[in-house]
Amino acid sequence: MSDKISLAIMTREMCHELYKSWENDESIYMDMSLFKPYTYKEKSVNKYFDSKQEPFRRLFAIMLGDKPIGEVQLKSIDQSKKECTLSIHMQNDNFKGKGYGTEAERLAVRYAFDELGMKAVNADTVVKNVRSQHILDKLGFEFIGKEGDFKYYRLENAE
């Protein structure tokens, strides 16, 4: 991977830029009857952005230079259990398969451990999303089990 990516706390402006060229990805839908191509609406993005401003969540833009190319979230941040849940989605197919997602997940996990003081990061994927499972394996997540349409993973802080 030659181009370097970074994470930035998502701003409203970044969120609009990201979603203007957003494409939903079929791989996160177990039930394809729920899948719809994405259409940008300014009002919906404002609502989405506002809904993510919570103390138990960090919403990051995945930045390639000064351009947002995806989003990664640390959700359900639990300060007493010291764990949270990772989720990620790149903007569209132009930014997939180039190593950016793996790097963004690595950075988000480091943020959870180093900045938030988490002891563990959880993740889940729909069963068919083998690309995502492959990345979690690569980053050292442990497969916890399968329940219904989901596979559950967990990474403990080794330090």
Ligand X SMILES: CC(C)(COP(=O)(O)OP(=O)(O)OC[C@H]1O[C@@H](n2cnc3c(N)ncnc32)[C@H](O)[C@@H]1OP(=O)(O)O)[C@@H](O)C(=O)NCCC(=O)NCCS
- The answer to whether 144 contacts ligand X (rule: CB under 6 A) is no
CA gap 120, 117 in Å, rounded: 9
Q: In sequence order, what are the residues at sequence separation of 6 or more whose Cβ sits closer than 8 angstroms to the Cβ of residue 152?
A: 122, 123, 124, 143, 144, 145, 146
Closest to 69 in 3D by CA, of 18, 135, 133? 18
- Minimum CB separation of residue 118 from ligand X in Å reads 18
Residues 107-136 that bind ligand X (CB under 6 A): 125, 129-132, 134-135
Site string for ligand X, 28-47 (x = CB under 6 A): x-------------------
- Pick the binder of ligand X from 88, 108, 112, 155 (CB under 6 A): 88
Q: Where are the alpha helices (DSSP H) in 74-115?
A: 100-114
Does position 85 interact with ligand X (CB under 6 A)? The reply is no
Cα-based distances in Å from 71 to 49, 51, 87, 97: 12, 15, 8, 15
- Which member of 97, 114, 142, 143 binds ligand X (CB under 6 A)? 97
Is 99 a binder of ligand X (CB under 6 A)?
Answer: yes
Position 25 contacts ligand X (CB under 6 A) = yes
Among positions 59, 85, 101, 122, the unique one binding ligand X when judged by CB under 6 A: 101
Which is closer to ligand X, CB of 122 or CB of 132?
A: 132
At position 54, the amino acid (one-letter code) is E
| Least separation in angstroms between CB 145 and ligand X | 16
Q: How many residues bind ligand X (CB under 6 A)?
A: 21
Beta strand 67-78 with 150-156: parallel, antiparallel or unpaired?
unpaired
> Measured between alpha carbons, how far is 122 from 71 in angstroms, rounded to an integer?
17
- Which positions touch ligand X (CB under 6 A)? 25, 27-28, 88-90, 96-102, 125, 129-132, 134-135, 138
